A and B are shown apart, each in its own frame.
Chain A
Amino acid sequence: MAHPEPHKQILRRTGLFSAASDDVLAQVAEHIETVKVGTGETLFQKGDTGDALYVIFDGHVRIHDGELTLKRLGPGEMFGEIGAFSEDARSASVTADSDTSLLKLRKQSLQNLLTNRPEAATDIISTLCRTIGNRVQEIADDTRQIAALEHELEIGRKIQADFLPDTLPEIAGWSIAAHFQAAREVAGDYYDVFLTPDGRKLALVIGDVCGKGVGAALFMTLFRSLIRATATAENFDNTGRFLSFLTSESNPAQLAECVTFTNSYMSRTHGRSSMFSTLFFALLDPTDGTLHYVNAGHEAPFVLRADGSRDRLETTGPVVGIMPGAVYQCGTTILNPGDMLFGYTDGVSDAVNAAGDLFTEERLQLQLESNTGNVGELVANVRQAVDDYSQDASQFDDITMLAVHRN
């Protein structure tokens, strides 16, 4: 069967036959089959038995493992050679990116060629060695890139850790415990505990930015900083007097103002990113236990009363960052001696086990029954229960808890 000259030229470009004599090339060309693959059509799947090598005559293909594209190839490039010479299953799938013409050389034809024309073997072996050498080089390059990215993520993780309090304030008559565990290197959860500028009130923050990973982490730093900044910043009033949003005489309206400002800035500046944060922001007066709070779309924290009853601090407004003009009300409760505030993110209630079932709020509530007034112990108990439940399932979401007890 006569084959057009272009086939020979393409074959020579692959390297496998770059130094082959015209005679050998003519013999190879005789065994070439032309295969056409339509756009989106898969030529072979990972795991298939290799029976031929292919050279692209015209068009483009994608070498992939499921959805992950490993490489794109075009005219003159060869693939499937390992499978054609070995008994190994195909290590990746090949799908046409465009209508593609391929030259196909079957395993049997290659073996016949090596038997009948041993002089062709030198080129073939040296090309295969080069191919394997290139792949090793590619793997080394990929490994270096992954290491560089991991290094960057580690830097990100350290920077983000600075956005969380390194120590918790110590207030006479109160105990505070927090737990924070990111699902990945960086997290979308955050919490904060700090004194107002006059040192007389304790600000408590717990929040969860939608999604996970780097995107959520970048937004976490913004939300957390805006709340901290508005809660501690000094501003001028219209008479030129210094004041902060939160003063020792702070009232619920000022607390809501911090959240309103944060929502307004974020939703007008970044709202089109659709990145929102749930946020529980409270101001505690340690002298009498008065707790003013804004709950912006966050899982309602529990108040575990000394008498064993429970209250929930339900939402007083929507999530922060995506709805300009949202209105935030302020709620108030009193933490009496023996009462505990317990805030958490949905990484606790939505933790999954190996079967994919959720830990659920009901299981959390069961754990809260073990409360003896020791904040550190309760937080550790809940964490242990989540770990016992999840067992081998990887942690899917960031987990944050904040507990404050009036002794």
Chain B
Amino acid sequence: MSNGLDISVSQMEGRVPVSVLHITGQVDASNAGDLETRASEVIEAGAKDVLLDLAKVDYMASAGFRALHVIYNSLHGGVPQVGEAKAPHLQILGASDDVRKIFKTLGFDAYLNIHDDLREAVDSF
């Protein structure tokens, strides 16, 4: 299994500035830490709103979903509370059908929104 994870960052403007992390590869236990580190660098550099572009992620293991929760906690200052509005500062873009299915199974769709369109995703912040 490939352990390479390519993460590039771009900036977009919606109602607020949005940092977009474009992720390519398979996210698993061997590289989920790289995703956490990259997101943490972006957040430490001042990003308040983050969009994770998963369009080129063809597999995401549980360690990758853990990374999403870690990033959520960094951006919102705590764990997601059921019943609250879904993550206002973290949005997901373009998850494949397979990845989307795991989102649903794990119940991560209870606190994270998945978008299909980049512009719509950026404007959702």
A residues whose Cβ falls under 8 Å from a Cβ of B: 208, 210-213, 267, 271-272, 274-276, 278, 296-300, 315, 317-319, 322-327, 346, 350, 352, 356, 358, 393, 396-397
**Taking the complex as formed, is B73 at the interface, i.e. its CB lies under 8 A from any CB of chain A?**
yes
Task: Note all chain A residues with C-beta closer than 8 A to B81.
Answer: 323-325
State in angstroms the CA–CA spacing of A278 and B62 once bound together. 9
Given A272-B73, A325-B82, A211:B106 Cβ within 8 A: no
Interface centre among A276, A278, A318, A352 (most CB of B within 10 A): A318
**B80 adjacent to A323 (CB under 8 Å):** yes
Task: Note all chain A residues with C-beta closer than 8 A to B61.
Answer: 346, 350, 397
**Taking the complex as formed, is B46 at the interface, i.e. its CB lies under 8 A from any CB of chain A?**
no
**A319 adjacent to B106 (CB under 8 Å):** yes
Task: Output the nearest chain B residue to A270 by Cβ-Cβ distance.
Answer: B79
Given A274-B73, A318-B106, A324-B79, A208:B1 Cβ within 8 A: no
Q: List 19 A-B contacts (CB under 8 A).
A: A210-B63, A210-B66, A211-B32, A212-B29, A267-B79, A272-B79, A276-B62, A297-B106, A315-B107, A318-B108, A318-B110, A319-B107, A323-B82, A323-B110, A324-B81, A325-B81, A356-B26, A358-B59, A396-B28
Task: Note all chain A residues with C-beta closer than 8 A to B66.
Answer: 210-211, 274-276
B: number of interface residues (CB 8 Å): 29
**Taking the complex as formed, is B2 at the interface, i.e. its CB lies under 8 A from any CB of chain A?**
yes
1/0 per position for B59-77, CB-CB distance to A under 8 A?
Answer: 1011101110110010000
Which of B1, B59, B65, B105 is close to A210, meaning CB atoms less than 8 Å apart? B65
Determine how close the nearest CB of chain A comes to the CB of B4; give it in whole angstroms: 11
Determine how close the nearest CB of chain A comes to the CB of B118; give it in whole angstroms: 27
Task: Output the nearest chain A residue to B106 by Cβ-Cβ distance.
Answer: A297
Given A319-B107, A323-B110, A324-B81, A208:B62 Cβ within 8 A: yes
Task: Note all chain B residues with C-beta closer than 8 A to A322.
Answer: 69, 79-80
Which of B32, B62, B67, B107 is close to A318, meaning CB atoms less than 8 Å apart? B107
**A274 adjacent to B69 (CB under 8 Å):** yes
State in angstroms the CA–CA spacing of A274 and B71 once bound together. 10
Task: Output the nearest chain B residue to A324 by Cβ-Cβ distance.
Answer: B81
**Taking the complex as formed, is B111 at the interface, i.e. its CB lies under 8 A from any CB of chain A?**
yes
State in angstroms the CA–CA spacing of A275 and B63 once bound together. 9
Interface centre among A271, A296, A323, A396 (most CB of B within 10 A): A323
Task: Note all chain A residues with C-beta closer than 8 A to B28.
Answer: 396
Task: Note all chain A residues with C-beta closer than 8 A to B105.
Answer: 278, 297-300, 315
14 more contacts with CB within 8 A, not counting A267-B79, A324-B81, A326-B82, are: A210-B66, A271-B79, A274-B67, A278-B106, A299-B105, A300-B105, A318-B110, A319-B107, A322-B80, A323-B110, A325-B82, A327-B82, A346-B61, A350-B61
Determine how close the nearest CB of chain B comes to the CB of A235; give it in whole angstroms: 25
Task: Note all chain B residues with C-beta closer than 8 A to A352.
Answer: 1
Task: Output the nearest chain B residue to A208 by Cβ-Cβ distance.
Answer: B62
Determine how close the nearest CB of chain A comes to the CB of B32; give it in whole angstroms: 8
Task: Output the nearest chain B residue to A360 by Cβ-Cβ distance.
Answer: B98
Task: Note all chain B residues with C-beta closer than 8 A to A318.
Answer: 106-108, 110
Task: Output the nearest chain A residue to B2 by Cβ-Cβ distance.
Answer: A356
Task: Note all chain B residues with C-beta closer than 8 A to A274.
Answer: 66-67, 69-70, 73
State in angstroms the CA–CA spacing of A319 and B109 once bound together. 11
Task: Note all chain A residues with C-beta closer than 8 A to B29.
Answer: 211-213
Task: Output the nearest chain A residue to B64 by Cβ-Cβ distance.
Answer: A210
State in angstroms the CA–CA spacing of A261 and B107 once bound together. 18
Top 8 A-B pairs, shortest CB-CB distance: A318-B107, A210-B62, A325-B82, A271-B79, A274-B69, A297-B106, A210-B66, A211-B63
Task: Note all chain B residues with C-beta closer than 8 A to A211.
Answer: 29, 32, 62-63, 66
Task: Note all chain B residues with C-beta closer than 8 A to A212.
Answer: 29, 63
